[in-house]
Amino acid sequence: MATLFVSDVHLSVERPARAAEFLGFLATDARRADALYLLGDIFDLWLGDDDLPPPHAEVVRAIGAVTRSGVPLYAMHGNHDFLLGEGFARATGCRLLPDPVVVNLYGERVLVSHGDVFCTDDRHYQEWRAFTRNPTAQAVFRTLPMALRRGYAALVRRRARGRTRLKPLEIMDVNPDAVAAAMREYGVRRLIHGHTHRPGVYPVAVDGAGGERVVLGDWYERDSVLAWGPQGYRLCRLPELAEVP
């Protein structure tokens, strides 16, 4: 078929229809893929590998069924599920990837990321990102009782929503210079990422040469999947995957 990429599903108990849709995808199209990449924020909130309220446990089992069917599956942390750990990897059979990372797609080196690392204009967010990725901070947080973790997460999210409303839209998008610098560093001409919820294909100039930034959509109002095969790639919705060779 093709290699499939998904990000920003934001699964939660408040959105059962999207959870059902994603579970259906894992049970069908994902089983036909050459490989599946989950590029972060698959869960709207993941407070540790012992955080298994609905629909988390069911999704973990479904991801595990994909890997047991023989499909290589890779996962990357997002800004909502950066606490995915080795317990999640063992339960699902997936491989956790660093961010960013270069993958080989049918002979082409492509840079893959959740995308938030390139939002360098938002300095406050980058400071928060660095803190949440700190292994010591994560280890301490995981030792807290789940009730305390949930309370702290609710407080942080309320404050984050307040700050987000005051920020210009452009500050929350990727910085073109940061994108070009990363593509130059890794020696690639294409980048795949999510996070910004602005799906599309955007041109990138790297040292005068043309490149592309392929941005995945979120699953708030509709699903979004990138299918990348030997003949090229396509951003599509789930029903369109049946047309991918």
Q: Are 51 and 14 in contact (CB under 8 A)?
A: no
228-242 pLDDT, tens digit per residue, is: 999 999 999 999 998
43-87 pLDDT, tens digit per residue, is: 999 999 999 999 999 999 999 999 999 999 999 999 999 999 999
pTM (two decimals):
0.95
User: Residue 170's pLDDT is what?
Assistant: 64
Partners of 205 in the beta sheet?
A: 210
> Average model confidence (pLDDT) for the chain?
94
Q: Does residue 55 have a cis peptide bond before it, meaning omega lies within 30 degrees of 0?
A: yes
Q: Report whether CATH 3.60.21.10 matches the domain 3-243.
A: yes
8-state DSSP, 42: S
What b/e readout covers 23-44, taking b as 16+ CB neighbours within 10 angstroms?
bebbeebbeebbbbbbbbbbbb
CA distance 47 to 204: 35
Domain ranges of the chain: 3-243
- On the question of pLDDT at 245 being above 90, the answer is no
User: Residue 243's pLDDT is what?
Assistant: 81
- On the question of pLDDT at 167 being above 70, the answer is no
